[in-house]
Each structure stands twice: as structure tokens, then as C-alpha cells.
Amino acid sequence: MNTLLWGVLPYVAVALLIAGTFWRFKYDKFGWTTRSSQVYESKLLNIASPMFHYGLLFVLVGHLMGLFIPESWTDKVGMDEHLYHQMSLYGGTAAGVLAVLGIALLLYRRRTNTPVFKATTANDKVMYLVLLAAIVMGMWAKLTNSSPSHGYDYRLTIAPWARSLFTLQPDVDKMVGVPLTYQIHAVIGLLLFALIPFTRLVHMFSAPVQYLFRPYVVYRSRDETQLGSRKERPGWERTKS
Amino acid sequence: MRVMAQVAMVMNLDKCIGCHTCSVTCKQAWTNRTGMEYVWFNNVETRPGQGYPRRYEDQEKWQGGWVLNKRGALKLKNGGRFKKLAHIFSNPKLPEIKDYYEPWTYDYKNLTDAPLGDDYPVAEPRSLITGKPMKIEWSSNWDDNLAGAVEHGPQDPMVEKVREQAAEKVKFAFEQTFMFYLPRICEHCLNPACVASCPSGAMYKRNEDGIVLVDQDRCRGWRQCVTGCPYKKVYFNHSTGKAEKCTMCYPRVEVGLPTVCSETCVGRLRYLGVILYDADKVTEAASTKDDKALYEAQLGVFLDPDDPEVQRAAEAADIPYDWMEAARRSPVRALISKYKVALPLHPEYRTMPMVWYIPPLSPVVDALTETGHDGEDADNLFGAIDTLRIPLEYLAEIFTAGDIAPVRSSLNKLAAMRSHMRAINLGDVPDHTIADSVGMSAQEIEEMYRLLAIAKYEDRYVIPTAAVGDAKALEESAVPDTCSLDHEGGPGMGGDGPFGQDSGSGKKQLPLVSIENFHAARKRQTSDEEPADVREQQ
């Protein structure tokens, strides 16, 4: 069981993430969008969406720090476990609260605003479930295993395991004895990775950083090879007339 | 000098009767789809009025277009690159569907299915967004023909501006009111703010004809273009989650046909043609300090196709010969650069729009005639222009950033043309001082008259085809390189080809053009004779 969860599942999830993203890019560029519902409702979204997204970005930074900066490095710069814990607890909780509040507001909006609710697909519902579960479980794991002075030091167990995945020799044993809540959070997180390419979450990969560097006005030539109509593609529904 | 060609449009507002045929045919052709119910790539507004979407000209609210920063450089009004990315998770300046209008249908089924009763069954309106019964309170042309003008007219942002200067000029009392129609499509700007706003780089201006398009495969639905466009002519398809906009009917323009809105225009008020411009000068012209100088600055960007230097540069820039020829014969260039009667729509947005308008004179003539004066007498007309029912100030706010001079000059030319031509029609000798007074020769006036009053189909639409330049590619594409049956849907499935469901069966891969059809169609469309005569000629 341990091998399956901590030795196999991560690779399956990442493989799905990579292959799925590639597949989606190749076959469904038209469906690759944020599918924003802002034209239906703007007021609540203007508060909730930045809250959630920025919260999540901070959470992401926290995860990267926690998992990929070894404890020995922080020790070297004079940051002991206690200090690190304080930072992780308050910083992480603040980011988490932001994200949870954001997604709670977004879900409330999605449920109560008729046009937004009508635009919600089954795919979206599954995605929201997993996303919400991952965030809530993460908060729960952190808060139930911490006190202001001392907390569970995942940097001795989960982090080395996560890093060992990259060496293709997963240190499965490190995950034995990790609190159950952390384990559940990790599994849901991996599930979320696998789901990304198949849901609207793909829009995270099109973060338009290149906008900062390109000239304002884009010129393009007509596609000489594409005269006349092209083949039908997914998402291009026929007009009903 | 970097010569580029632009397919541009001029609309003669004198002739617009507000019939909305352009809007309806455009909608039929392009936006009668789920997700696009509220979208009109072409709409006709009654001015004064709020427009569509409501009060779109209020840029303090919607933040469209460009402004100059402290150093005098162009900057998107909605904020620079970093600000745009920081706001990417929600766009605070995005119009909601309700700012356009909530689209609806009627519950027609009730008309036949209602149980027997004392009352006539009615088809209640149902929202196309929520599916629920709704109260219809606004639409894309709710204030059509000044409907509710007393209530809505004062909310026109341009009326507000004029009233700041001359309160008594704009009135909505029944006897004193005025109106004209303003058909609007995408401006296909030389300095498009929507393109500049697109974080994904999905929007682009085509090199060949300057048409601004959205790459549907690259659009990621960040919605910044909707805000960026000061004319609010980029729309968000709420079903696909992508931006869509007026395409200048590029599949038609590419084969030399006018856009659907032009083709179907009942008043024949639209002109389509090529304008050459210097792409290197665009930014500089758009950064002109004084708003009121922007109109002249844009004229300075356009190039004269008869200038040998321009011709050499155009050749170097690979502009095909027939495009140069079209630029020379371009009715649009004549109205914009030669006669200078057409004016841009809101040059102060600094996007260098390329759909221009000839301001309306007709209400003056009518008003004059009503007062017992000779409505076509030059002296009467010139005098009346300054006391127009449509105040010059109002037209100037729309067309020249508030500068009255170009509007007055344009209207004076139109008035001079009327007097001059009346003399000719009555067999009198035209008074040459009339032509002189507007800085035109009698010959020029008569040429302008031909273009404005009797221009035929081929004079109004001078569109070089993309096909001639790509004749070889076209020939090759006429023969599909795959079997016409081996695509999605399989053998015998048929489907919508470029010619609709009934043209050919299942040959989806047919190229869009067939040269014979094009010429045959053109002949049919442009000939003045009865079809029987045409047959005799052949």
C-alpha cells in the first residue's frame, strides 16, 4: 500500500499531468481557456477571484519552500526549526485563509448566481470538489498538527520523500508514520495534479508572462496554407439556424 | 517608410435611415450562436443616445483606449503591462452582459400548449442567460429613434461633454430635438488598443489588409481586450470563454466581396477600399499631444499611391500590383484624404480608427426648408450650419475630439455640393464662388457628387482580392489533398461547407473561392440591367 501511494501514484499523477497537458494542447486549443464567468457577475468575482488566486500563489510558494528547501539549508543561514515553524504557521495560515475564503466566496457565487450556476459543467463540479478538498485538508493537517510553539516537522519526512521522487528512487519509508491528515492531503494533491489537464485548471499553464516582453501591437500574416475552411475541431459547434 | 495596406470603410451618415439591415444581416452571418446572443458586431445607434453597450464612450468608467503618460508616450488607459498582469484574476473594468443587455426569447410553446381558458395565451419573455422569465428593460437599441430621449438622452456621455460648454445647445424638448444614426462596427484601428491589451498575444493585425482578428486557438479568455477597446467592439463569448469581434468579413473581402453589412446596406452608404499608410509613423501620430490635432496627424500617416516614392516603397514591401491599383481607385481614400469630408470616430482614443464617417447634413436642409427658406441655397446653408439642430459641438465631440473646424469644413463642402449640383440640375451656370469658398474646384465637387450620390457597386467597393496574389496557392488548394470523405463525420455525413448545407454534398474541404463564380456573382450584383438583358449580352 505504501509503495502504491508514495512510490507509484506520484509518477502516475505526473505522467497524466504531462501527457494530458500535451494532449490537450494538441487537440483542444480551442477549449483551453479560463472560461471566465465574469460577464454574468462582476462584483463578487472582483473580490473573491483575486483573493483566491493570490492566496493560492502564496500557498504554492510555501509548498515549494517547504518541500524543496532542505532543513540543512535554512539551518545554515541561521533559521532554526522554531523560527521556520513560526513563519510557516502564520504565513501559511494567512495564505491558506485567503485561499479558503476566496474559494468559499467563489463557490457561494457559483451556487447562488443563476447564470453562473448554469454555466457550471460536471467537469467543473468534480474539479471544485478535489480542489476544495485539497485546500481544506492542507489547512486541517497543518492546524491540527501545530501549536504556536511547536509543529509537525514535515521537513524531515515529507520533504525528503518529495525530493527523492526526482531521483527516481522514491524513499517510500519516509512517509511511514506521517500523520494521516498530511497523507490524505498529499494523495488529494496528487489527484489534483492528474486532473489539471482535463479541467479548466489548465489555464494556469498559460500565465501570460510573455506579455511583459512583446511589442504592444502584434502583426501576423495570413496563413498561406490555410485558404478556405478548415476541418472541424472540438468545441466548434455548428450554428443552429 | 514601411508601407502597409489597410482595408478601410467610410459611412455616409446622411444616407443612414436607421433600418438596422446591416445589424441583422451581420448577426445572421456571424453571431447567431449560443454565447453570442447579446453580441452585435454591427449595431446602429441613435445619437444622441447612450449607445451599445450603455455609455461605452465614458472612458473614465470603462478605461478604454490609449492616453499619454507624463513623458508624452502612449500608455493604455487601463494601465501598463504590470498592472494588467496584476489584475489578471479579475478585470475590474469589464462590462457585464447587463451593460449590453440581457438577451431573451419568448416562450412560444405556450401559445399552442396553454390549456383552454378565458384569456388568450401569451408568449412570455424568457432570459437566454438564466432561462427564467424576465422583464425586458433594455436592449442593443432601446433608445432607437430617440425613444425615451428625455430620460436617456442626457446620459449620452457626449451630450454631457457638450453641455459642460454650452448648456442650451442640446435640448430634448420635442420641438427642438435632433437625431441621426450612427452605424458602428470594429474600427480595425492602426494602433489597436485591444491588440495591445491581449496578454496572450492572441489578437493581431493582419499584415496584408490590416484586419484585426482574434486567434481562437490562442485566446485564453483573460478579457483584457474587451476593456482595452474604447469602442467596446470586442465581445466575450460566454459559452466558449473566448473573445470574438467583427472580422471585417475577411472571408468575403479576401475574394473581393464587400462585407455583409456593406453588401446589404439599403441606403448604400458604405464605402470600402484600400488605404496605404506608413506603419513607422503610427505611434508618433498617435502620440500627438493635442487631442484636437489627432485627426490631422492621422491624415499625415496615410500615403499617396500616386507618389513614385511611395510606389517604390510599396514594391519593396511586397504589396501586390492590384492592391496599389485598388489604393489609387479607393473611394475611401478619396473621401478621407482628397475631399476631406470623412472624419474618424473618436480620434481622441488614440487608436487611429479606420472606419470613418461623413457627418450628417440632411437635418439642416430639412430644418431650413421648414422655416420657409430655400434649403439648398448656399448662403442660407452655410449660415445654417452654425446654428444646426445637431449642434456642431456635438458632432465635433464624436468625430474630431471637440474641434469644430473639420466638421464645419466637411458640412460646408456637402452644402456647397448641394448648391452647385442644384444649379446644374436647373440648367443654371453654377456660381464658382461657392466651390471656391470651400476650397474645391467645380470638377472636384462634381466628382465628389458622383461618388456620394450615384457611385455604383464597383465604385463603392474597390476591394483587391487576396486570391490574385495567391493565385497559385489557390489553384493548388482547389484540389483537396485528402479524400473529401475521410474526415470527422465519415462518408456521406455531409455538413456545412463554405457554401452552406445544400451546396455540394459533404465536400467540406472545398476552397472558399471559385473564380468563375466570383466573377459571375459580381456581374450579377453590379449590373444595372434586368437579368434578362444580362442573359442577352452573354
B201 with A214: Cβ contact below 8 A: yes
B59-89 residue pLDDT tens: 999 999 999 999 999 999 999 999 999 999 9
CB atoms within 10 A of CB B348: 21
B101-139 residue pLDDT tens: 999 999 999 999 999 999 999 999 999 999 999 999 999
Predicted confidence band at B534 (pLDDT cuts at 50, 70, 90)?
Answer: very low
Distance CA B536, CA A192 (A): 73
Boundaries of every domain in chain A: 2-208
Q: Where is pLDDT greater, at A93 or A239?
A: A93
Among A28-32, A77-81, A143-147, name the one with the lowest average pLDDT.
A77-81
A104-121 residue pLDDT tens: 999 999 999 999 999 999
* Residues 234-273 of chain B whose Cβ lies under 8 A from any Cβ of chain A: 236, 238, 240-242, 254
Inter-CA distances, B520 with B251, B272, B514, B517, Å: 18, 20, 10, 5
Among B22-36, B145-159, B244-258, B493-507, name the one with the lowest average pLDDT.
B493-507
Q: Where is pLDDT greater, at A76 or B380?
A: A76
Among B53-57, B135-139, B218-222, B381-385, name the one with the lowest average pLDDT.
B381-385
Cα three-residue angle B304-B305-B311, rounded to 5 degrees: 115
- B16 with B44: CB under 8 angstroms? yes
Is pLDDT at B413 greater than 80 in this prediction? yes
* Residues 153-172 of chain A whose Cβ lies under 8 A from any Cβ of chain B: none
Question: A150: alpha, beta or left, given left = phi > 0 and alpha = psi -120 to 50?
Answer: beta
A119 with B201: Cβ contact below 8 A: no
Is pLDDT at B506 greater than 50 in this prediction? no
A224 touches chain B (CB under 8 A): yes
Distance between alpha carbon A133 and the CA centroid of its chain, in Å? 12
The answer to the question of residue B235 being in a domain is: no
pLDDT at position B484: 52
**Residue B89: which of A53, A222, A228 has the nearest Cβ?**
A53
A174-217 residue pLDDT tens: 999 899 999 999 999 999 999 999 999 999 999 999 999 999 99
**Chain B contact probe: residue of A113, A217, A219 with most B CBs at under 10 A:** A217
Beta strands in A168-224 (DSSP E): 219-220
Predicted confidence band at B505 (pLDDT cuts at 50, 70, 90)?
Answer: very low
B497: DSSP letter: B
A203 with B220: Cβ contact below 8 A: yes
* Domain covering A2-208 in this structure, CATH number: 1.20.950.20
pLDDT at position B530: 62
pLDDT at position A23: 95
Predicted confidence band at B494 (pLDDT cuts at 50, 70, 90)?
Answer: very low
Predicted confidence band at B20 (pLDDT cuts at 50, 70, 90)?
Answer: very high
The interface predicted TM-score of the complex, written ipTM, equals 0.91
The answer to the question of residue B529 being in a domain is: yes
A34 with B473: Cβ contact below 8 A: no
Q: Which three cell numbers stand for residue B227?
A: 476593456
Average pLDDT over every residue of A49-54: 97
Mean pLDDT for all residues in chain B? 87
- Residue B485's domain spans which residues? 470-537
B220 with A227: Cβ contact below 8 A: no
Q: Which three cell numbers stand for residue B423?
A: 444649379
Q: What is the distance in angstroms between the Cα of B35 and the nearest Cα belonging to chain A?
A: 10
Among A95-99, A230-234, B150-154, name the one with the lowest average pLDDT.
A230-234
Q: Which three cell numbers stand for residue A233?
A: 475541431
Predicted confidence band at A239 (pLDDT cuts at 50, 70, 90)?
Answer: low
The residue of chain A with its CA nearest to that of B66 is A216
B470 with A224: Cβ contact below 8 A: yes
Average pLDDT over every residue of B238-264: 94
* Total domain count, chain B: 1
Is pLDDT at B177 greater than 80 in this prediction? no
Q: Where is pLDDT greater, at B432 or B350?
A: B350
The residue of chain A with its CA nearest to that of B89 is A50
Percent of chain B past pLDDT 70, that is, above it, reads: 85
Q: Write down the number of H helices and E strands in chain B.
A: 27, 15
The answer to the question of residue B182 being in a domain is: no
pLDDT at position B518: 65
What residues of chain B lie within 8 A of the CB of A203, using their CB? 220-221
